[in-house]
């Protein structure tokens, strides 16, 4: 019975339109005008924007060959000003989240099967996870995995606990590396940092009541959007 229940997908909100694939997504919000960027940034008419990995390579900070040599395909090392830029952007996002009321957390990067089931990464996405050999480590006797996103340990900060409504909402943020095998992504989105096995990400999570969940979700989305708009 547990296996059957775990295989059920999350139920979509009633406002989500029906569709066969992402081409039928409905645009609900956009910010800025892409067509105005050349003028705002002073680009020449014949200027062609580069991919982020090309920019980083031109700056001498994209060391993919070294990373592949030590770790295999879909890994990259950033160096110099490019590495500093990644750190600076991450710190900026964390600081802005903290200013908006999120508590910063430095969570474990290894979690149990139960933790991943609690956030619905398992059982569906097991092939996309990096599993640790049981001879090396287990999580309280359970299978151990590298986190695919900080959402997993942040959400599990209160797993099994009963919280008072007066304590809610609880807002967390964290910067962690994320590890993804990306078993199902062969042949698509393979350039740059989009589909690497390891990347850094700032995550924001809210734990709230069912009654205020929709409003808190809109607040969280707005907080993330404001970081990009700034």
User: What gap in Å lies between CA 102 and CA 38, rounded to an integer?
Assistant: 36
Whether residue 104 contacts residue 97, with contact meaning beta carbons closer than 8 Å, is answered with yes
**pLDDT at site 10:** 81
Which tens digit of pLDDT belongs to each residue from 172-215? 999 999 999 975 555 556 677 877 999 999 999 999 999 999 99
d(CA 75, CA 179): 10
User: What is the rounded average pLDDT for all residues in the chain?
Assistant: 92
The reported pLDDT for the residue numbered 52 is: 92
- Residue 128 has a pLDDT of 93
Instruction: Per-residue pLDDT tens, the chain, 230 aa: give them.
Output: 888 888 888 888 888 888 999 899 999 888 988 888 888 889 988 888 899 999 999 999 999 999 999 999 899 999 999 999 999 999 999 999 999 999 999 999 999 999 999 999 999 899 999 999 999 999 999 999 999 999 999 999 999 999 999 999 999 999 999 999 975 555 556 677 877 999 999 999 999 999 999 999 999 999 999 999 98
pLDDT number for residue 188 = 58
Tell me whether the omega of the peptide bond preceding residue 169 falls within 30 degrees of 0, making it cis. Answer: yes
Beta carbons within 10 angstroms of residue 46's beta carbon = 5
Question: How far apart are the C-alpha atoms of 226 and 204, rounded to whole Å?
Answer: 13
Amino acid 193: pLDDT: 81
pLDDT value for 122: 93
**DSSP letters spanning 154-193:** HHGGGTT----GGG--EEEEEEEEEE---TT-TTSS-STT
Query: Using one digit for the tens of pLDDT, what is the confidence trace for 210-229?
Result: 999 999 999 999 999 999 99
Q: Report pTM.
A: 0.90
């Amino acid at each position: 019975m547990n296996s059957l229940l775990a295989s059920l997908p999350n139920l979509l909100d009633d406002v989500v339109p029906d569709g066969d694939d992402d081409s039928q997504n409905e645009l609900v919000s956009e910010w800025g005008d892409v067509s105005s960027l050349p003028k705002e940034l002073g680009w020449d008419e014949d200027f062609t924007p580069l991919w982020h990995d090309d920019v980083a390579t031109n700056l001498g900070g994209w060391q993919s060959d070294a990373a592949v040599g030590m770790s295999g395909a879909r890994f990259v090392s950033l160096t110099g000003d490019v590495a500093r830029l990644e750190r600076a952007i991450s710190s900026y996002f964390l600081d802005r989240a903290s200013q908006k009321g999120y508590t910063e957390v430095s969570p474990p990067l290894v979690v149990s099967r139960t933790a991943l089931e609690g956030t619905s990464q398992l059982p569906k996405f097991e092939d996309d996870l990096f599993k640790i050999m049981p001879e090396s480590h287990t999580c309280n006797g359970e299978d151990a995995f590298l986190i695919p996103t900080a959402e997993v340990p942040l959400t599990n900060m209160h797993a099994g606990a009963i919280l008072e409504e007066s304590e809610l909402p609880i807002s967390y943020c964290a910067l962690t590396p994320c590890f993804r095998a990306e078993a199902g992504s062969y042949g698509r989105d393979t350039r740059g940092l989009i589909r690497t096995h390891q990347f850094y990400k700032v995550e924001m999570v809210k734990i709230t009541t069912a009654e205020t969940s929709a409003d808190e979700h809109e607040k969280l989305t707005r907080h993330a959007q404001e970081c990009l708009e700034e």
